[in-house]
Structure formats: structure tokens, C-alpha cells
Amino acid sequence: MTKEILKVVLIGDGGVGKTSLRNQFIHKRFTNAYKATIGADFIAKEVNLDDGKTFMLQIWDTAGQERFQSLGVAFYRGADACILVYDVNNYLTFEHLERWRSEFLKQAGVADPTEFPFVVIGNKIDIDERVVSRRQAKAFALRHSGKSMEIPCFEASAKEGTNVEQAFSYIAKMVKIPQMEFDMFGDGDIRNTSSFHLPTRSSNSFGCC
């Protein structure tokens, strides 16, 4: 079965909620139990555009804790987009986005960093202890945006589901999806797939920073 695949990599410090964001997007569920990601793994979700086009959004969750980071970077290569995640209540996680972005670009072998699709997500807005402002997040995004590839930033809550689907869906509007052969039932890692519909017309009502 021929499918188009979009490989998306989630990166950021441990504990910022990368796994929780993915689980909320894929499964519409949240758990308070924290388990560090070791290395990387992915789950795929079928996406249907209004024009009838179908592809698989392959979301890679990578290790954020320092002792596991070297295991995750091996999976950066071949990514079509990258989501940088920080905790709006922890300034260091936001400050570290510079390092995460630089390491991703290096390991992924990106030819033109200013034209590669990045999305920034500030997670845990359900906790009222904010230390990172929307202005700071927007400044980071603008600083690294290219002439034809502006980096969108979202504030989200993996716990409550706020802006989670909007952030992931926006990626499809940014990337030219490559043609690949994909047997969506041929790999045990992607049995838990589901589908949603994306509008073909652009919209600015995504709750960006």
C-alpha cells in the first residue's frame, strides 16, 4: 500500500511533556505518571486532507534526559519537521531550545537551517507558574525564521488538550510531503493509528504565541 510519510521529531528537555503531547494528539489521553523516554520511538497517525489526499504523520519521541540523549539523536536524520518543546513554567527548558535546535540541525544534516520546518510548543499552560512569556517565545521563533519559512509558536496543555491538535496539524501546512512506500500495517510500532481531517485552506486561528 503506497503512503506518503511525514517524519516529525519531538525534542526538548526531559520532563517538558513531549510524550504527553504526542499521547494527547494520538490517543486523546493524559497520565500524570512520568516515565523517561530512552532512545526514541514513534507512533504514526493517518491524516486525511479535505482534497482527499492521505498521508501518515510519523511522530518520533526522543530522549530529553542528558544520559539518554545520545541514543535519541541517531533518529534525527530523515526528519521532515521538528517540534521544539519547552515548559512555560521552567525557564531553563526554554533557554535550552537553542542547544536542542543546534544539535538537531547538526545531526540531521540540514542543508539550510533557515528553511527547515520547526514548530515551537510551550507546554503546561494549565499550571499557573509561568516564567516564560509569549513575547520571549515569539522572539525566539522570529530569530530563527527564514524568509520563506516562519516558525510558528504555540502554547499548549497536554493535560487539557489545549492547542495540541492545532500545533501538530500546522506542520502539514509547512512541509512538502515526500512520496514513500509505506505498509502501514507491516510494522508493529505503528499498529495504533487513527485519523483526522485537516483543512486545505490556511487559517490563522491556531492560538499561536
Helix axes of 164-174 and 18-27: crossing angle, nearest 10 degrees: 90
Higher pLDDT, 170 or 51: 170
In a domain, 25, yes or no: yes
In a domain, 203, yes or no: no
Give the CATH number for residue 184.
3.40.50.300
pLDDT of residue 16: 94
pLDDT of residue 62: 75
DSSP track, 167-201: HHHHHHHH--PPEEE--TTS-GGG-S--EEEE-SS
Q: What is the amino acid identity at position 126?
A: D
Q: pLDDT of 131-161, one tens digit each? A: 999 999 999 999 999 888 899 999 999 999 9
In a domain, 182, yes or no: yes
**Number of folded domains that form the chain:** 1
In a domain, 209, yes or no: no
In a domain, 204, yes or no: no
Residue 101: Cβ within 10 Å count: 20
Give me 40's grid cell. Answer: 526514541
Distance between the two ends of the chain, CA-based, in angstroms? 39
Mean pLDDT score, 179-189: 38
Mean pLDDT score, 93-115: 92
**Residue 28 scores a pLDDT above 70:** yes
Confidence of residue 55 (pLDDT cuts 50, 70, 90): confident
In a domain, 143, yes or no: yes
Question: Domain of 144?
Answer: 2-198
CA 83 from centre of chain? 3
Q: pLDDT of 153-164, one tens digit each? A: 999 999 999 999
In a domain, 205, yes or no: no
